[in-house]
């Protein structure tokens, strides 16, 4: 008799019955899942039983910010793509390598000539963190002006997405930024958009009918041609422009209303190099962290590089120096390649990000430190979440980290009992929209606030 028919006969006669699920096994599996993580059972259960966290990688680290006591861990030794939480490393670099003010530019005087070059300071006529100090200085000097281009990193960082070039959050890096390396468009119905800087007006044209895009403006990939798509409502938008030494000289001359000549980069021995101080550093740190400004973060590492060596602006030099001098005590060495976190080559573990938060809390006065981060329910990237519950006072201050399929948050929670906790909550490989993940993180961190 064939085996298949024998099996049917045995089942029909009742000699075999299908195996029923063992409730005890299911309960043990659930208990094992709830034991993933080190810390209170209620927090394990809240995170591990959530269907929102079930299909992607989750890592959590929670510690007392004052004592450093570890309170909870879940996959905290696993590496994640940190996205913009890497800006906390850039902040740490700036705090250790810059003084109280940004280095606006450097210069030497040779007879009747003033030679100047960039330090990476991004604030010259920037739309959101504007400084006119370099402008006023160069405009008022009696000498002839010569710009010399110091060697600098490539415009785009390693591991950046090339097709982000058109968006406000991905301007090119450079040694002497002006206007934040972006063009601003102000559109009103039935009118041509107003363009700032005005030099770019002649480079703007209506988009061809064949264009298929939801953007307001599309720039040609390799040139400064800006195509404005049809619109019926007003809007304001920013688009990065392609940088070059020639364009920089033109913008400087048009802005200063005086000649600026190029000169090859060459420092003479024992020249008296002077630095023009710029804006207070916190004005940059606060904007960089609260709205997660990638351009400011990238330029910050270049300014740090200028403090380390006078011959070039090099992001890798800053990263290497900060790691070797100040970060050897982190639990896991981060893979750190840029200032903004735009690169998917960056890697960090939750416990390392929390350890960095502990170091920041030890080294920076608490009121200043919290004022630099995005306050829950206030402004910046957390304005719609973690709303204050008592007298308008925030209870969470954080740094978000968002890329496609990535939703991270790291920062500090003030609990109902008054303790300040440092936390890192990382979510990678999220399929689809991340709004549910944001809501679930808020639910968990609200309970942390209530129960600690």
Closest CA to 378 of 367, 357, 393: 393
Q: Is residue 4 pLDDT above 60, yes or no? A: no
Q: Is residue 17 pLDDT above 60, yes or no? A: no
Locate CATH 3.40.710.10 in the chain: 37-93+301-451
Average pLDDT over residues 80-108: 97
Average pLDDT, the chain: 91
Q: Residue 248: its pLDDT value, please?
A: 97
Count Cβ atoms below 10 Å from residue 316 Cβ, excluding itself: 14
Q: Is residue 3 pLDDT above 80, yes or no? A: no
Task: Note every long-range contact of 318-324, with CB atoms under 8 Å and residues 24 or more positions apart, other chains counting.
Answer: 318/93, 318/97, 319/93, 321/97, 322/89, 322/92, 322/93, 322/96, 322/97
Tell me the C-alpha distance between 303 and 292, whole Å. Answer: 18
Q: Is the dihedral of CA 117, 98, 346, 426 positive or negative?
A: negative
Reported as a pLDDT band with limits 50, 70 and 90, residue 8 is very low
Q: Which residues does 255 contact at the CB level (< 8 Å), separation at least 6? A: 125, 135, 178, 197
For strand 204-206 and strand 396-403, is the pairing parallel, antiparallel, or unpaired? unpaired
For strand 420-428 and strand 113-118, is the pairing parallel, antiparallel, or unpaired? unpaired
Name the more confident of 342 and 8. 342
- With beta carbons less than 8 A apart as the criterion, state whether 179 and 129 touch: no
Q: Residue 26: its pLDDT value, please?
A: 52
Tell me the C-alpha distance between 3 and 261, whole Å. Answer: 92
Q: Residue 23: its pLDDT value, please?
A: 52
Return the minimum-mean-pLDDT range out of 138-147, 202-211, 250-259, 414-423.
202-211
- With beta carbons less than 8 A apart as the criterion, state whether 63 and 71 touch: yes
Q: Residue 38: its pLDDT value, please?
A: 85
Tell me the C-alpha distance between 48 and 433, whole Å. Answer: 20
- With beta carbons less than 8 A apart as the criterion, state whether 124 and 131 touch: yes
pLDDT in tens, 270-319: 789 999 999 999 999 999 999 999 999 999 999 999 999 988 999 999 99
Q: Residue 350: its pLDDT value, please?
A: 98
Q: pLDDT > 70: what percent of the chain?
A: 92
Tell me the C-alpha distance between 409 and 438, whole Å. Answer: 9
Q: Residue 214: its pLDDT value, please?
A: 87
What radius of gyration do the chain's Cα atoms show?
Answer: 27
Q: Residue 312: its pLDDT value, please?
A: 95
Q: Residue 19: its pLDDT value, please?
A: 43
CATH superfamily of domain region 37-93+301-451:
DD-peptidase/beta-lactamase superfamily (3.40.710.10)
Q: Which residue's structure tokens are 């000289």?
A: 249
Tell me the C-alpha distance between 408 and 74, whole Å. Answer: 14
Tell me the C-alpha distance between 132 and 366, whole Å. Answer: 31
Q: Is residue 411 pLDDT above 60, yes or no? A: yes
pLDDT in tens, 361-407: 999 999 999 999 999 999 899 999 999 877 789 999 999 999 999 99
Helices (H), 196-340: 245-256, 281-290, 294-308, 315-326
Tell me the C-alpha distance between 298 and 159, whole Å. Answer: 14
Count Cβ atoms below 10 Å from residue 206 Cβ, excluding itself: 11
Q: Is residue 9 pLDDT above 60, yes or no? A: no
Return the minimum-mean-pLDDT range out of 16-25, 28-37, 250-259.
16-25
Closest CA to 97 of 313, 369, 304: 304
Return the minimum-mean-pLDDT range out of 29-33, 92-96, 183-187.
29-33
Tell me the C-alpha distance between 219 and 228, whole Å. Answer: 9
Q: Residue 413: its pLDDT value, please?
A: 98
Average pLDDT over residues 338-358: 98
């Amino acid at each position: 008799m064939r085996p298949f028919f024998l099996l049917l006969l045995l089942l029909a006669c009742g000699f075999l019955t299908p195996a029923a699920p063992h409730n005890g096994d299911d309960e043990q599996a659930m208990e094992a899942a709830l034991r993933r993580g080190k810390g209170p059972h209620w927090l394990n259960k809240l995170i591990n039983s959530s269907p929102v966290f079930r299909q992607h990688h989750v890592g959590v680290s929670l510690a007392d910010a004052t004592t450093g006591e570890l309170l909870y861990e879940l996959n905290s030794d696993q590496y994640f793509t940190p996205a913009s939480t890497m800006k906390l490393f850039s902040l740490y670099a700036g705090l250790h390598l810059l003084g109280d003010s940004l280095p606006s530019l450097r210069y030497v005087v040779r007879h009747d000539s003033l030679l100047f070059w960039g330090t990476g300071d991004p604030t010259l006529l920037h739309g959101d963190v504007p400084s006119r100090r370099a402008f006023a200085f160069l405009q008022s000097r009696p000498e002839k002006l010569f710009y010399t281009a110091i060697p600098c990193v490539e415009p785009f960082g390693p591991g950046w997405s090339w097709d982000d070039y058109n968006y406000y959050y991905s301007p090119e890096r450079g040694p002497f930024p002006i206007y934040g390396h972006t063009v601003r468009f102000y559109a009103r119905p039935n009118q041509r958009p107003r363009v700032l800087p005005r030099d770019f007006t002649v480079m703007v044209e209506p988009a061809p009918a064949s264009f298929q895009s939801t953007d307001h403006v599309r720039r040609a990939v390799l040139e400064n041609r800006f195509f404005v798509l049809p619109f019926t409502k007003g809007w304001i938008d920013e688009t990065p422009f392609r940088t070059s030494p020639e364009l920089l000289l033109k913008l400087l001359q048009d802005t200063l209303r005086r000649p600026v000549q190029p000169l090859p980069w060459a420092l003479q021995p024992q020249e008296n190099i002077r630095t023009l101080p710029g804006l207070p550093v916190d004005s940059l740190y606060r904007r960089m962290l609260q709205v997660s400004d990638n351009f400011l973060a990238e330029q910050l590492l270049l300014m740090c590089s200028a403090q380390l060596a006078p011959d070039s602006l090099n992001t890798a030099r800053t990263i290497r120096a900060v790691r070797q001098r100040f970060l050897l005590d982190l639990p896991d060495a981060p893979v750190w390649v840029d200032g903004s976190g735009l690169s998917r080559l960056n890697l960090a573990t939750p416990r390392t990000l929390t350890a960095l938060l502990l170091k920041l809390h030890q080294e920076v006065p608490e009121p200043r430190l919290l004022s630099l981060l995005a306050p829950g329910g206030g402004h910046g990237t957390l304005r719609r979440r973690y709303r204050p519950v008592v007298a308008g006072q925030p209870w969470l201050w954080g740094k978000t980290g968002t890329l496609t399929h990535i939703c991270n948050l790291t920062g500090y929670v003030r609990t109902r009992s008054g303790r300040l906790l440092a936390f890192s909550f990382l979510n990678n490989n999220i399929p689809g929209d991340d709004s549910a993940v944001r809501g679930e993180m808020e639910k968990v961190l609200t309970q942390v606030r209530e129960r600690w």
